[in-house]
Amino acid sequence: MNVTIELTVNGRAHRLDVEPRTSLADALREQLGLVGTTLGCEHGVCGSCTVLVDGTAVRSCLALAVQARDADIRTVEGLADGDRPHPLQEAFAAEHALQCGFCTPGFLMLLAGALADDPELDRDERRLEEVLASNLCRCTGYAGIRRAAVRAAARMRGEGERDSAGHAG
Amino acid sequence: MGDMKPAQFDYVAPGSVPEAVAVLAGRGPESRVLAGGQSLLIELRYRTARPALVVDVNGIPGLAEIAVEDGSVHVGALVRHAQLERARFDDPLAGLFREVAPYVGHPPIRARGTFAGSLAWAHPASEWCALAMAMGAGIELEGPAGRRTVPADSWFRGRFATACLPEELVTGVRLPRPPAGAVPAFAELRRTHGSFALAAALVVLRLVDGRVDWVRVGLANAADVPLRAVEAERLMVGEPPEPELLAEAAARAAAEANPPDEPHAPAAYRRHALATLVRRCLTRAVRARHEHPGAA
């Protein structure tokens, strides 16, 4: 039996009619057309489906859409400010932190959540690595992604443009 | 990817424990309880679980608290792994939670998954299950016949099998507080960063006047169920923690294990790993105590 839920996605209110078995990821992709959220493994391992639920980065394949009742969801489509990319998106481009791009939305949302929780995450190398190890990238490896995280974190703190070596750019 | 979609089920989100128990009293055997969902969703996707009804308890108030009481700490059924990772209350258990939590899943998994859910799932490699076993936790249940508490050593009945009846709801877990000054240590071996524990060891130890005064040793993935290595503990109590004694205790703990033979980990290899992990934990706990003698 279908369930009707109301939720906010990227600032817009939606009313959805979902089967209880529908995952949050499938509801976002198939019912709202937000296909920026990608599905890799569909069992919580790869992290490509990571979105923010009430500000916290979670696997949208491991949550039911019905559990998102009244929740505030943010997906990669909600990251940019109009035509202006988010600092994380700019940093990923600048640091070559993606190749095929399939995992990128998940990494962006993972970092958006982690940096909102702790804006100085990049200053603790071990903790940053622990966060990045949540998701899988099979193209570039993690060095570029880590550089992008460091660059974006500094920029988001208003420390201006710095290159990956930490010099003023 | 069609293979990874769950089969159909009905969904109900009770607003209180009595409401949830009433649902389970009627449909328990065909139901599964949804808390963090970080294991249940996987089972639903693989269809190793095909419940007719999913009972979502996330809307029940009062289950998400960690309560520090006189002799024990109570962890509500909806306390997430991430809450335990940030535990700051004044007790050795807080240090133990902080030490173990980073080994449970990843940060996004830890944001949703629950401590009590891990105990209800009863994966043999679960770090929290080993902790519950070693610390003598009591698992609190509510069902049509009322409330009861099941001690950890009769809770785990096998791989993914517990003493919980289909009509019962886990409402929380009570952990006795270790003596002040006890020091926790945890060590784990896994094939990749994202793998389950191939083997893991947990130690909580207190030294008084240069002798082991109180010690607990827990093992994960050392058998079908989590283990407490009581013989290893007995060997150490009252003795000075010399390296030879710690090595002997570690070997005894490994001998108490009954690890299954698996392609990547023959039983003998896993025993060897367990002995090494236990020895490392014991050494670290003893050293930490000596380095911080005022840390009672």
Q: What is the ipTM of this complex?
A: 0.92
The residue among B225, B287, B280 whose CA lies nearest residue B256 is B225
Expressed as residue numbers, the domain containing B254 is: 183-291
Candidates A58, A102, A137: best to mutate against B (most CBs of B within 10 A) is A58
Contact A44 B1 (CB under 8 A): no
What is chain B's mean pLDDT, rounded? 95
Hey, is A135 helix, strand or coil?
coil
Residues B141 and B45 reside in one and the same domain = no
Q: Point out the domain boundary residue: B176, B194, B210.
A: B176
Contact B41 A56 (CB under 8 A): no
The per-residue pLDDT for B192 is: 87
| Cβ-Cβ contacts under 8 Å, A24 against chain B | none
How far CA B265 is from CA of A151, B5, B195, B198, B269, in Å, comes to 42, 31, 13, 8, 6
How far CA B196 is from CA of A12, B73, B123, B288, in Å, comes to 39, 27, 10, 27
Is the CA virtual torsion A80, A84, A86, A90 positive or negative?
positive
CATH number (domain holding residue B27): 3.30.43.10
CATH number (domain holding residue B274): 3.30.390.50
Average pLDDT for B135-143: 98
Contact in structure between A62 and B38 (CB atoms under 8 Å): yes
Q: Select the residue of A20, A26, A47 nearest B108 (Cβ to Cβ).
A: A47
**Strand ranges of the sheet holding B211-220, from the earlier edge strand across to the other edge:** B183-189, B199-208, B211-220, B227-228
φ, ψ of residue B219 in degrees (nearest 5): -130, 135
The per-residue pLDDT for B264 is: 83
- Give residues with Cβ within 8 angstroms of B152, minimum separation 6: B119, B132, B133, B135, B136, B137, B138, B139, B226
Query: Is position B203 within any domain?
Result: yes
Question: For residue B292, with 0-12 CB atoms within 10 Å meaning exposed, 13-18 middle and 19 or more buried, which class applies?
Answer: exposed
Residues B163 and B122 reside in one and the same domain = yes
Residues B144 and B220 reside in one and the same domain = no
Contact B41 A23 (CB under 8 A): yes
Contact in structure between B169 and B33 (CB atoms under 8 Å): yes
CA distance B82 to B104: 9
Q: Could you give all domains of chain A from N- to C-terminal order, each with its CATH number?
A: 3-78 (3.10.20.30), 87-156 (1.10.150.120)
Contact A64 B9 (CB under 8 A): no
State pLDDT tens for residues A126-138: 999 999 999 999 9
Tell me: pLDDT of B58 over 50.
yes
pLDDT interval class at B3 (50, 70, 90)? confident
Residue B113 has, within 13 A of its CA and on its CB side, a CA count of 27
Tell me: pLDDT of B288 over 50.
yes
Which amino acid is present at A135?
Answer: N
From first to last of its 169 residues, what are the pLDDT tens digits of chain A? 899 999 999 999 999 999 999 999 999 999 999 999 999 999 999 999 999 999 999 999 999 999 999 999 999 999 999 999 999 999 999 999 999 999 999 999 999 999 999 999 999 999 999 999 999 999 988 999 999 999 999 999 998 655 545 444 3
Q: What share of chain B is helix, strand, coil (3-state, %, to 5)?
A: 40, 25, 35
As given in the structure block, the two tokens for residue B44 are: 């639903």
Q: What percent of chain B has pLDDT over 90?
A: 92
Q: Point out the domain boundary residue: B142, B161, B176.
A: B176
The residue among B52, B69, B266 whose CA lies nearest residue A20 is B52
Is the CA virtual torsion B102, B106, B107, B112 positive or negative?
negative
State pLDDT tens for residues B185-219: 999 999 988 889 999 999 999 999 999 999 999 99
Contact A42 B37 (CB under 8 A): no
Number of domains in chain B: 3
Query: Is position B2 within any domain?
Result: no
Query: Is position B1 within any domain?
Result: no
Residues B129 and B28 reside in one and the same domain = no
- Give residues with Cβ within 8 angstroms of A83, minimum separation 6: none
pTM of the model: 0.95
**What's the angle, vertex CA A106, arms to CA A104 and CA A108, rounded to 5?**
70
